[in-house]
């Protein structure tokens, strides 16, 4: 019955004495109040929970659960705690009133009950209860609205985040399109990089950031002329010098961003060709001077180059153990030993990524 609107207020009168109950019933019924009677504390608790009365008039001295204990239980149950409780008592000792207040009584009425006073108290307390219920319902409504708004805000933020990451992936693929049409290299490479980072024990948030930023590593190739980028044969010294500009060009494109993923993309673009022994480019950084993300992407990038079927790479389908052997050759030279070891420790994960993000089989060549 809680929360339903009612034609008339409901008062639960509790007394072990039938005469008292009949008196209260007579007084209140004549004012349009519905009176429900209970003869004990136990009956009062059951009816209060069932009927959600607007006011409870509670006798103190009753066999079984007395008025104090009944009030205490009513007030400690969330289902009945908002119902105003009036102790109807002949006791006028201060100590008894304190006990009643401690038990949670909201008001007192002295026995014998005076008609005008009883009606006035009940009327006031019915309004108090209605006000409390209104506030409770209003608060629940507000909480539900806040929760719904928070949820939709969270969903919108997640959609924006996904769109931003997809944009990075697609723009990076666009930058690679001239020499790698499928965009699968950057997908595989970023998954390898994330797997290595996870194996190294980096926090999941950083792992995800690396995965999102790694696709931007070669974005600077956009500034390399076709005659060099797409040259079928080996590059001469001058052409290599131009090719080696792509980390700087990429870093320049991504520079000065407020977004963490773009800032990391800049670091990766700038550092993915640095080598552990200092022989890399563009700055010849050495060891831990190279940001960890750059060292991770270096391993992922070279591995994918060795195992994918891009025409200008080494033999396209080198067996995995041969590729591993080639990479181990670079341990402590090209690659950070710890990063390479992390990579070598997760062959199943790496193989699963290779299989899942496989390049399409090229169409047979015309004779
Ligand atoms: Fe590169």
Distance 16 CA to ligand 1 centre (A): 91
232 vs 313, residue with greater confidence: 232
Distance 362 CA to ligand 1 centre (A): 24
Most confident of 95-99, 121-125, 166-170, 338-342: 338-342
Confidence of residue 3 (pLDDT cuts 50, 70, 90): very low
Distance 308 CA to ligand 1 centre (A): 15
- Taken in order 351, 180, 182, 318, the sign of the CA dihedral is negative
Distance 218 CA to ligand 1 centre (A): 5
> Percentage of residues in the chain with pLDDT exceeding 70?
92
Distance 119 CA to ligand 1 centre (A): 88
pLDDT tens sequence across 233-269: 899 999 999 999 999 999 999 999 999 999 999 999 9
Residues 237 and 229: beta-carbon distance below 8 Å = no
Distance 272 CA to ligand 1 centre (A): 6
pLDDT tens sequence across 269-278: 999 999 999 9
177 vs 228, residue with greater confidence: 228
Residue 124, pLDDT above cutoff 60: yes
Residues 318 and 307: beta-carbon distance below 8 Å = yes
The full set of domain ranges for the chain reads: 10-143, 177-356
Distance 166 CA to ligand 1 centre (A): 21
Q: What is the pLDDT of residue 359?
A: 74
Q: Residues, the chain, total?
A: 367
Residue 332, pLDDT above cutoff 70: yes
What is the Cα–Cα distance from 338 to 1, expressed in whole angstroms? Answer: 68
Residues 23 and 113: beta-carbon distance below 8 Å = yes
Question: What single DSSP character describes residue 313?
Answer: S
Mean pLDDT of 24-53: 94
In this structure, whether the domain defined by 10-143 belongs to CATH 3.40.50.2300 is answered with yes
Residues with CB under 5 A from ligand 1 (ion): 218
Residue 317, pLDDT above cutoff 80: no
Distance 48 CA to ligand 1 centre (A): 76
Any idea which of 1-10, 71-80, 247-256 has the lowest mean pLDDT?
Answer: 1-10
Distance 30 CA to ligand 1 centre (A): 92
Which CA distances in Å does 81 have to 9, 302, 303?
17, 69, 68
Distance 352 CA to ligand 1 centre (A): 24
Mean pLDDT of 126-146: 92
Distance 124 CA to ligand 1 centre (A): 80
The architecture (CATH level 2) of 177-356 comes to Orthogonal Bundle (1.10)
Q: What is the pLDDT of residue 5?
A: 63
Is the pTM here over 0.75, yes or no?
Answer: no
Residue 161, pLDDT above cutoff 70: yes
Residues 210 and 264: beta-carbon distance below 8 Å = yes
Torsions phi, psi for 87 (to 5 deg): -80, 125
Distance 196 CA to ligand 1 centre (A): 18
Same fold, 10-143 and 177-356: no
Distance 300 CA to ligand 1 centre (A): 11
What would the two tokens of residue 158 be?
């997640």
What is the Cα–Cα distance from 5 to 95, expressed in whole angstroms? Answer: 38
| Closest to 189 measured CA to CA, from 201, 177, 172 | 172
Confidence of residue 308 (pLDDT cuts 50, 70, 90): confident
What is the Cα–Cα distance from 315 to 294, expressed in whole angstroms? Answer: 25
Phi-psi category of residue 278: left, alpha or beta, with phi > 0 → left and psi -120 to 50 → alpha: left
Residue 2, pLDDT above cutoff 50: no
């Amino acid at each position: 019955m809680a929360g339903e609107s009612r034609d008339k207020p409901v008062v639960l009168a509790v007394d072990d004495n039938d005469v008292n109950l009949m008196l209260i019933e007579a007084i209140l019924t004549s004012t349009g109040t519905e009176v429900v009677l209970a003869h004990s504390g136990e009956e009062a608790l059951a009816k209060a929970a069932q009927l959600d009365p607007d006011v409870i008039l509670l006798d103190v001295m009753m066999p079984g659960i007395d008025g104090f204990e009944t009030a205490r239980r009513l007030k400690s149950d969330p289902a009945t705690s908002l119902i105003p409780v009036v102790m109807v008592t002949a006791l006028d000792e201060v100590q008894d009133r304190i006990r009643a207040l401690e038990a949670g009584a909201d008001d007192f009425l002295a026995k014998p009950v005076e008609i005008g006073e009883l009606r006035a108290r009940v009327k006031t307390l019915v309004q108090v209860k209605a006000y409390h219920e209104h506030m409770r319902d209003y608060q629940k409504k507000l909480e539900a609205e806040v929760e719904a708004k928070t949820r939709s805000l969270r969903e919108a933020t997640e959609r924006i985040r996904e769109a931003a990451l997809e944009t990075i992936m697609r723009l990076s693929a666009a930058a690679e399109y001239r020499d790698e049409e499928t965009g699968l290299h950057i997908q595989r490479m970023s998954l390898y990089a994330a797997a290595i980072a996870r194996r190294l024990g980096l926090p999941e948030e950083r792992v995800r950031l690396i995965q999102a930023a790694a696709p931007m590593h070669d974005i600077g190739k956009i500034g390399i002329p076709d005659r060099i980028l797409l040259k079928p044969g080996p590059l001469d010294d001058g052409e290599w010098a131009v090719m080696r500009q792509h980390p700087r060009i990429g870093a320049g494109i991504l520079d000065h961003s407020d977004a963490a993923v773009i800032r990391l993309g800049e670091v990766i673009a700038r550092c993915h060709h640095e080598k552990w022994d200092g022989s890399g480019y563009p700055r010849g950084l050495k060891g831990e001077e190279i940001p960890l993300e750059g060292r991770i992407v270096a391993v992922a990038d070279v591995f994918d180059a060795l195992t994918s079927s891009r025409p200008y790479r080494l033999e396209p389908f080198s067996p995995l153990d041969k590729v591993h052997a080639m990479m181990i050759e670079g341990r402590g030279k090209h690659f950070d030993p710890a990063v390479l070891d992390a990579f070598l420790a997760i062959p199943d994960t790496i193989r699963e990524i290779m299989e899942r993000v496989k390049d399409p089989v090229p169409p047979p060549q015309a004779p």
